[in-house]
Amino acid sequence: MQINFHPHTLKLRHPFTISRETRETQDTLIVELTDGTISGYGEATANPYYGTTLESMQNTLKDIVIPEGWKTPALLWESLKDHFKNDTFAQCALDLAAYDYWGKKNKKPVWKMLGLNISNGLYSNYTIGIDTIPKMISKMEEFKSWPIFKIKLGTKDDLEIVRELRKHTNAVFRVDANCAWTAEQTISFSRAFRKLGVEFIEQPLPADKWEDMAKVYKESELPIIADESCIRETDVYDCLETFHGINIKLTKCGGITPALRMISKTKKVNKKVMIGCMTESTVGISAIAQLVPLLDYVDMDGALLLGEDIAFGVKLVEGKPVYPYNSIGSGIALRNAPFKVTI
């Protein structure tokens, strides 16, 4: 089998700001796993916070030899895992491609190959990046029929932002500080945000502040979901002692294969499971969609944060995942050229 690379730099719909950075474009690598007849597609985005670039991912993947006769993506993942010790992003892209190929070869969608049912009715949030309050309101009103918004925070005006946005919608809010707060801020915000219809707080503290997180876990009036503290499978048990749930990113953990194990471990102790995205195109979002039946929350709006996309596949309609009719694999087909996203 052959691995082909399709690197892209995609424009974002709006400049996207979180507590530590602003981006106007997103580099992403589409990995194609092909036998010459069937092609499976996977994706991982570049991310400076995690030291991942288009070049680093291609360098990791360029010498991979796909073993003959692999039967499942999980077995392929295990056979190659030693090669990916320092690059879970590249590992993810190949793993997602393997699942897409596996489903296409068996003429079934991946969710069905996994024994799942996609009728659980879970809705995705749409993310509002940090900006001036009027611009954040404007971004929200572009998707005014959306039932859930994730609000990026980490400014001196966080409480004012949520109060002002609440005046313009009855949607559920989730807030994400991306490590920007202290324990005291988080506990205080939790009291105010609970009254403002916030469902949970995502990663309020820096990832290494475990003692402070233990205090927040005990005193917060809202559930706290781990993100930057839960990167790989080995982080799960530490997080479950100080968070109410985890946000799994396929790119950070190495793909669907380890994500399935992370979900199982978390569910066994009755904690919440979310899968989030990293501004992927429809390729990566369609892979996330295969796991929606296993989740409590999902953040799969990445393709809608783009000003242009590169694939057909699972899409969101007012927050609800819509799967291509009679699709197989992850439902992915690449477009020949970027196109403008329309709602």
Residue from 122, 120, 52, 123 nearest 91 by CA: 52
The CA distance from 222 to 220, in Å, is 5
CATH topology of domain 113-340: TIM Barrel (3.20.20)
Mean pLDDT for the stretch of residues 95-122:
96
Q: Is the dihedral of CA 188, 192, 195, 200 positive or negative?
A: negative
Q: Do domains 2-110 and 113-340 have the same CATH topology?
A: no
CA separation (Å) from 52 to 28, 48, 90? 10, 6, 9
CA separation (Å) from 20 to 145, 152, 155, 191, 219? 29, 11, 10, 25, 26
The CA distance from 7 to 47, in Å, is 14
pLDDT band for 341, please (50, 70, 90 cuts).
Answer: very low
Between 68-72, 188-192, 284-288, the lowest mean confidence (pLDDT) is in 68-72
DSSP string, 140-171: HHHTTT-SEEEEE--STTHHHHHHHHHTT--S
CATH topology of domain 2-110: Enolase-like; domain 1 (3.30.390)
* Cβ-based burial of 65 (10 A; exposed 0-12, middle 13-18, buried ≥19): exposed
DSSP string, 321-335: EEPPTT--BT--EEE
The CA distance from 99 to 95, in Å, is 6
Question: What DSSP state is assigned to residue 296?
Answer: S
Which pLDDT score is estimated for 120?
Answer: 79
User: For the chain, what are the domain ranges?
Assistant: 2-110, 113-340
pLDDT digits (tens, 9 = 90+) for 220-233: 999 999 999 999 99
pLDDT band for 343, please (50, 70, 90 cuts).
Answer: very low
Q: What are phi and psi of 264, to 5 degrees?
A: -60, -45
The CA distance from 181 to 107, in Å, is 48
| Mean pLDDT for all residues in the chain | 95
Mean pLDDT for the stretch of residues 241-253:
97
Q: Which amino acid appears at position 39 of this protein?
A: S
